[in-house]
Amino acid sequence: MEVCYQLPVLPLDRPVPQHVLSRRGAISFSSSSALFGCPNPRQLSPRRGAISYDSSDQTALYIRMLANSEIEVSVSARNVRRLLSFQRYLRSSRFFRGITVPNSSNILDDDYNGQAKCMLEKVGNWNFDIFLFDRLTNGNSLVSLTFHLFNLHGLIEHFQLDTMKLRRFLVMVQEDYHSQNPYHNAVHAADVTQAMHCYLKEPKLSESLTPWDVLLSLIAAATHDLDHPGVNQPFLIKTNHYLATLYKNTSVLENHHWRSAVGLLRESGLFAHMSLENRQLMESQIGDLILATDISQQNEYLSMFRSHLDRGDLCLENANHRHFILQMALKCADICNPCRTWELSKQWSEKVTEEFFHQGDIEKKYHLGVSPLCDRQTETIANIQIGFMTYLVEPLFGEWARFSNTRLSQTMLGHLGLNKASWKGVQREQSGSADDVDPTFEEMDSDILPQEPRLS
């Protein structure tokens, strides 16, 4: 049985109820679904117009997009917000049709646009400053960067993509990230997409990957944290959130990111000209890539990667092997912050810790028991980062360097070592000891302790 929820039509001259006004809302523990600003446990945030949910299938939550041909669209707060968010999209569409757009106070001046274009010329550099690029594009880093990469890799021409549909898809993706999240927002998605581009350029990959592989990689990178609520999976499980029930407490967020991405792909009609078989294959393989970013599955993927490297049996002419390498590449891109320059890495460290602590504050307020790494009274950024680097980042990037022993790999390991030393210096200043590594990461899985990098 399919149950559909139609969003309310709200007069624009009246105050909007809080649970509707906020896409995410404050948490009310009468239902943990209020995390998304939704009083109904089966309804997601008011994002598309309707939610379809078949309770007989745990993977059957999907967003059914309502086209204008299907319903009469009434004026609502959501519609107005969507129209306003498309001001830049409309300007871009006119640009691609060669129509001159009059100056507007809502449009960035030529100096900013020119600087953003200059930065895109160096989008393959590992020291690319995504924070600066986001400012230069007026908060549109994900749209601008991903569209540029689609063009740079020749995907628009190869797959005969409609540029207006592509831009509309990217605008919707960017809009469905939560800008109020300190870390899991569209800027993080843009950063991961830029890192993924750097990995796609590595000799072993660039010589072997097909346009299809590159297409999947960029879409998965851009959408890998889509509609992230700013709290982790254990929080959703212990508050009995309906998503945790739907996905049986397994890769809850990653499954949601994937299904949300599929919904936007279908709504945009970006690949409507492809066969149904190819579209279904694309959706499935994008899901495989996004699901690989579940950090709780780190040991499984790392063990497989290490075994392949020990046996030397990776063959990138094999589509399955290429897909596995793309999974590992996306995993690296997702947690590559400690491998950036100190100036960039430090900013990311502060942002992710702020998000952890915000969750901890909520857990304290509602007496839920504070999750590991989320207590601002007992944790520090330095301790969290040293543990993260030691137990998760070093093992993964050590094996990646075995697979692709390039200048980029050595640069990333070099930054990782320097950043870890910097945080240890901060730790010494705070506690007078350099040995206080947060044990939380070690408890996650003893098999992902750091290994000595074995470079081929």
57 is in an annotated binding site: no
Q: Is 221 annotated as a binding residue?
A: no
Closest by alpha carbon to 169, among 98, 96, 256, 260? 260
8 A C-beta contact, residue 344 and residue 337? yes
Question: How many Å apart are CA 405 and CA 56, to the nearest integer?
Answer: 47
Q: Is 69 exposed, middle or buried (0-12, 13-18, 19+ CB in 10 A)?
A: exposed
Collect all residues with Cβ–Cβ distance below 8 Å to 244 and sequence separation of at least 6: 233, 236, 237, 252
- The answer to whether 320 and 211 have CB atoms below 8 angstroms apart is no
- Residue 3's beta-bridge partner residues? 53
Q: How far is CA 426 from the centre of its chain?
A: 29
Using alpha carbons, select from 412, 394, 388 the residue that is nearest to residue 454. 394
Residue 158 annotated to the active site: no
Distance (Å, whole) CA 36 – CA 45: 5
Residues in the chain: 456
Strands 2-4 and 51-54: antiparallel
Long-range (24+ apart) CB contacts under 8 A made by 442-448 are 442/387, 442/391, 443/372, 444/296, 444/298, 444/391, 444/392, 445/298, 445/299, 447/299, 447/303, 448/298, 448/299, 448/302, 448/391, 448/392, 448/395
Contact 288, 325 (CB under 8 A): no
Q: Tell whether 352 is in a known binding site.
A: no
Q: Give dist(CA 142, CA 185) in Å, integer.
A: 10
257 carries a ligand binding annotation: no
225 marked among binding-site residues: yes
Handedness of CA 212, 217, 218, 222 (dihedral sign): positive
Reference 52, options 1, 95, 17, 14; nearest CA is 1
- Active-site residue, from 153, 178, 184, 358: 184
The reply to whether 256 sits in an annotated binding site is no
Q: Is 34 annotated as a binding residue?
A: no
Q: How far is CA 336 from CA 120, 209, 415, 447, in A?
A: 20, 22, 10, 20
Q: What are the binding residues?
A: 184-188, 224-225, 334, 385
Residues forming the active site: 184
Q: What are the binding residues for AMP?
A: 184-188, 225, 334, 385
Q: What are the binding residues for Zn(2+)?
A: 188, 224-225, 334
